[in-house]
Amino acid sequence: MRVSAVKIPASRLKLILITIFSISTIYLLNRQSLLLLCPSSLPPPDLFLRQSLSSTPTTIPTTLHHLFFSIASSSSSFPRRLPFLSLWYSPNSTRALLFLDKPPLFKPPLPYYISSDTSHFPYSFPRGHRSAIRVARIVKESFELYEPDVRWYVFGDDDTVFVPENLVAVLSKYDHEKLFYIGSISESLEQNLKMSFGIAYGGGGFAISATLARALSKVLDSCLMRYPHLYGSDHRISSCITELGVHLTLESGFHQVDVRGDLFGMLTAHPLSPLLSLHHLELVEPVFPSKNRTAAVQHLFKAVRVDPGRVLQQTVCYDYTSNLTVSVAWGYAVQVYEGNLLLPDILASQRSFTPWRRRGINIPGQYVFDTRDYPQDPCKRPLVFFLEDVASGTGRVWSKYKRHITHSCTRVAAIVNLKDIRVFAKKLQYNVGQVGAPRRECCDIIHPFNKSMVIDIRHCGSNELIAMNA
């Protein structure tokens, strides 16, 4: 059926157009009047500024460019801690700012900012340090300095060693447009009981979303006035975030390292989570024997640079033929146990370290993670091989571990002559799904071996048990 066009007289068409124009004009005038009468309905001016300066759509994946590191320091401490800062900071890729109490005697290798005066804030903690207020305000000052396209503000001390690539992978799990406060508690039960189990400890580092940073910056100063009795900056920040109704999201890769002595037991039993930070490295023993503290951490970072996602990840192999259990903390150390040990027992940290409080007794109840005994008799400990070299190529990584001989003990025939262990694996690249639901990998010991053992790390089969029946 054909529909014929309707012809409208010119005079009527002109009247219709005039009517439409009049209605539109009245609507626009009324809307403008309403906005003038109710200015609170408009977004704040700084929101327009930030939206106009930001050119990164939220659909773009989070990268290192979206992280801004705010580092608490002082003119007296940063010179001796430069070796730690230089391990993870790169002027070409890392956005970071060092917050100092006064101008330094020489220019730091990264940009710095002199914190505002905080003398008008009350501080009443006995024998504490007023610098805690200055450090707490870094959260506010970081946001107000304004860097474009920041999704996450990461905070730490000048002796905090970060793994930026892993931070990107972990923070990508979360929506930066929501209120997120991400970090970890202390390893010391006593520290958490004294402070709180809801604090992200500042030395271990923590991250807050840009949205939370915006909200916190507006209320932080007034909030700090209510907490003069607290000791540290991290407790103050946590209290003010709590007043905003936000709780701590735990990520076990942040390490405050509130222990002393030898970190061997902690580093060889790292959680099944990417390593994000280490703190207090100048207060503990060198993480590698026969090296000083700085050289030891630099040696560990050789592995971090080759495969940051895999570093310290623990993989356990069973060799029923030789009656051995082998635990690989990739990029750090390999332990060879005589006998077939149960997997849950191996995953607990050996108490090679001591409590943060020197008067504390070194028992499991001192810590907030699983621990096991570290034999006093060296001959009852596993045979240990420390990282010697590491390299990568064609999507795979290779690491070599050399036997550490500090004593003479009788060993089973299979490992009497064992001098080194080589470990092969695919480069471990995290995506959101892997970080959100990780699974420990499996490994195979290649036979035969005499002086040198070869281990191949691989993904476990869908129904494969790590400890298979012989």
Same domain? For 243 and 314 the reply is no
Q: What CATH code is carried by the domain that includes residue 156? A: 3.90.550.50
Spatial CA neighbour of 78 closest among 101, 54, 49: 101
Same domain? For 81 and 180 the reply is yes
Same domain? For 229 and 375 the reply is no
11 in a structural domain: no
Q: Which pLDDT score, from 0 to 100, does residue 432 have?
A: 61
Same domain? For 246 and 366 the reply is no
Residue type, 383: L
Distance CA 74, CA 226 (A): 25
241 in a structural domain: yes
94 in a structural domain: yes
Q: Which residues contact 254 (CB under 8 A, 6 or more apart)?
A: 183, 184, 200, 201, 204, 205, 206, 276, 277
Residue 73 φ/ψ, nearest 5 degrees: -150, -175
20 in a structural domain: no
Q: Which pLDDT score, from 0 to 100, does residue 58 have?
A: 56
Other C-beta atoms closer than 10 Å to the C-beta of 90 total 12
Question: What is the reported pTM?
Answer: 0.86
Per-residue model confidence as pLDDT tens digits over 224-269? 999 999 999 999 999 999 999 999 999 999 999 999 999 999 999 9
437 in a structural domain: yes
282 in a structural domain: no
pLDDT in tens, the chain (470 residues): 443 444 555 555 455 444 544 544 444 434 443 333 333 333 343 433 333 333 344 578 999 999 999 999 999 998 999 999 999 999 999 999 999 999 998 888 899 999 999 999 999 999 899 999 999 999 999 999 988 999 999 999 999 999 999 999 999 999 999 999 999 999 999 999 999 999 999 999 999 999 999 999 999 999 999 999 999 999 999 999 999 999 999 999 999 999 999 999 999 999 999 999 999 999 999 999 989 999 999 999 999 999 999 999 999 999 998 999 999 999 999 999 999 999 999 999 999 999 998 877 888 889 999 999 999 998 999 999 999 999 999 889 999 999 998 777 888 889 999 999 999 999 998 776 567 778 999 999 999 899 999 999 999 999 999 986 54
Same domain? For 230 and 326 the reply is no
Distance CA 62, CA 164 (A): 12
Where a domain ends, among 250, 282, 317?
A: 250
Q: Which pLDDT score, from 0 to 100, does residue 467 have?
A: 82
Q: Which pLDDT score, from 0 to 100, does residue 44 have?
A: 41
182 in a structural domain: yes
193 in a structural domain: yes
Q: Which helix (H) or strand (E) holds 122?
A: none
Residue 18 corresponds to which tokens in the numbers above? 């005039």
Domain count, the chain: 2
Same domain? For 212 and 325 the reply is no
Query: 372 - beta bridge partners?
Result: 350
Q: 176-205 b/e with 16+ CB inside 10 Å = b?
A: beebbbbbbbbbbbbbbeebbebbbbbbbb
Same domain? For 324 and 445 the reply is yes
Distance CA 132, CA 130 (A): 5
Same domain? For 78 and 225 the reply is yes
Distance CA 321, CA 466 (A): 16
Same domain? For 235 and 316 the reply is no
Q: What percent of the chain has pLDDT over 90?
A: 75
Same domain? For 234 and 123 the reply is yes
Where a domain ends, among 223, 250, 277?
A: 250
Tell which phi-psi region holds residue 57, choosing left (phi > 0), alpha (psi between -120 and 50) or beta: beta
Question: Containing domain of residue 227, as a range?
Answer: 64-250
Same domain? For 169 and 312 the reply is no
Q: Which pLDDT score, from 0 to 100, does residue 469 have?
A: 55
3-state secondary structure of 452: strand
Query: 67 - beta bridge partners?
Result: 152
For the packed helices 138-145 and 210-224, what is the interaxial angle rounded to 10 degrees? 130
Distance CA 263, CA 256 (A): 12
Same domain? For 199 and 311 the reply is no
3-state secondary structure of 45: helix
Q: Which pLDDT score, from 0 to 100, does residue 455 have?
A: 98
Q: Is residue 84 within 8 Å of residue 257, measured between CB atoms?
A: no
Where a domain ends, among 250, 277, 297?
A: 250
Per-residue model confidence as pLDDT tens digits over 23-73? 444 444 344 433 333 333 333 434 333 333 333 445 789 999 999 999 999
